[in-house]
C-alpha cells in the first residue's frame, strides 16, 4: 500500500471542517493498482444526525484547488450510493473527495457479515453497487483520521472477508452466466446485438463475482474487475483474454466454456 505524500496533508485540512468524523484513503492507492497520475481518493466520513458544514467544505475546496473553482456537492448529490463529494486538483494532482455516512457504512458491514446480497442501480456503475460496497471499501482503505475510533471498530469486523458473504455471492451469481448467455443468444438471433452485448457483460460480471468470492477478494467496483479476477488462481485459464474477446464479439461459445470450467472447479 502506497500513501501519496499529499493525502495526509489534504486529509488533515478536511478534518478542520466542522462535522467531519474521519478521513480515509481508498481507491487504487490502497489496492495496489495505482499508476503514475492516479487520482487520490479520500473518503470523508460524516454522521447524518450531525451534518458537516458544507459552506466550510466548499471554502476549503476552493482554497486547495489549483483553479480555485472546485465545488463540493450536497450529500446525495451524486446518487444514492456514490453520495457526493468534490473533484479537486491540488498541486497538479487529482484529488477526489467522496462522502460516506457512518450509519450507512455500519449497515453495510452488517450486510456483509450476514451474507446479504443486494444490488442497486448507481450512475457510473454499469453493473451496480452492492449493499456491502461500503464494507468492501472500509476493509480495503487506510484510515488517516479516526479520532473517535468508530471507523476502526467497524473495520475490524471485515478485516477477514466474511465466509457468509462469499457463500452468498457464489449462490447468487453462480447460476447466472448460463441464464444471461441464453438471453444473449436469443438477442443475436433477433439481430439485437446491443441487447446481446449487455447480456454478455452481465454474464461476465457474474463470473467475476464468483471468482473473487471464492478467493475472499473484495470487489470495490467494475474498474479493473476483469483483470483482477483473471489474476486469481481460481479463474479459468486465460480468463481475461477469452472474456474480452467474447465481450467484443458477443460470441457466447467461449463464455459457456468459461462458465463450465468454473462450475467444474467449484
Cα 115 from Cα 121, distance rounded (Å): 19
- Check residue 249 and give its pLDDT: 81
Low-confidence spans in the chain with pLDDT less than 50: none
- Check residue 196 and give its pLDDT: 92
- Check residue 176 and give its pLDDT: 97
Q: Are 215 and 224 in contact (CB under 8 A)?
A: no
- Check residue 128 and give its pLDDT: 95
Cα 36 from Cα 19, distance rounded (Å): 33
**What is the DSSP track for 128-180?**
EEETTHHHHHHHH-EEEE-TTSHHHHHHHHTSSPPHHHHHHHHHHHTTHHHHH
Partner residues linked to 176 by β-bridges: none
- Check residue 38 and give its pLDDT: 83
Q: Are 181 and 203 in contact (CB under 8 A)?
A: yes
C-alpha cell recorded at residue 139: 476493509
Q: Are 70 and 86 in contact (CB under 8 A)?
A: yes
DSSP 235: S
- Check residue 1 and give its pLDDT: 59
**3-class DSSP state for residue 208?**
helix
Domains of the chain: 6-157 (3.30.460.10), 163-264 (1.20.120)
Amino acid at each position: 500500500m502506497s500513501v501519496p505524500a499529499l493525502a495526509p496533508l489534504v486529509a488533515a485540512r478536511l478534518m478542520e471542517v466542522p462535522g467531519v468524523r474521519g478521513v480515509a484513503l481508498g481507491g487504487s492507492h490502497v489496492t495496489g493498482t495505482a499508476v503514475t497520475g492516479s487520482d487520490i481518493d479520500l473518503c470523508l466520513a460524516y454522521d447524518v444526525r450531525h451534518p458537516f458544514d458544507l459552506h466550510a467544505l466548499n471554502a476549503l475546496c476552493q482554497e486547495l484547488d489549483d483553479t480555485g473553482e472546485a465545488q463540493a456537492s450536497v450529500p446525495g448529490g451524486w446518487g444514492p450510493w456514490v453520495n457526493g463529494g468534490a473533484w479537486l486538483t491540488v498541486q497538479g494532482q487529482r484529488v477526489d473527495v467522496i462522502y460516506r455516512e457512518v450509519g450507512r457504512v455500519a449497515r453495510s458491514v452488517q450486510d456483509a457479515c450476514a451474507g446479504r446480497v443486494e444490488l442497486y442501480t448507481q450512475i457510473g456503475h454499469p453493473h451496480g453497487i452492492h449493499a456491502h460496497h461500503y464494507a468492501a471499501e472500509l476493509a480495503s482503505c487506510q484510515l488517516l483520521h479516526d479520532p473517535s475510533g468508530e471507523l476502526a471498530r467497524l473495520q475490524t469486523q471485515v478485516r477477514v472477508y466474511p465466509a457468509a458473504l462469499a457463500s452468498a455471492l457464489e449462490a447468487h451469481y453462480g447460476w447466472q452466466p448460463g441464464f444471461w448467455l441464453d438471453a444473449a443468444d436469443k438477442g443475436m438471433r433477433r439481430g439485437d446485438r446491443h441487447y446481446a452485448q449487455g447480456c454478455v457483460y452481465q454474464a461476465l460480471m457474474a463470473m467475476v463475482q464468483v471468482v473473487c468470492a471464492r478467493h475472499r477478494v473484495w470487489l470495490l467496483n467494475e474498474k479493473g474487475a476483469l483483470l483482477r479476477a483473471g489474476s486469481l488462481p481460481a479463474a479459468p485459464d486465460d480468463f481475461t483474454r477469452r472474456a474480452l474477446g467474447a465481450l467484443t464479439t458477443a460470441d457466447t461459445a467461449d463464455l459457456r466454456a468459461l462458465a463450465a470450467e468454473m462450475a467444474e472447479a467449484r
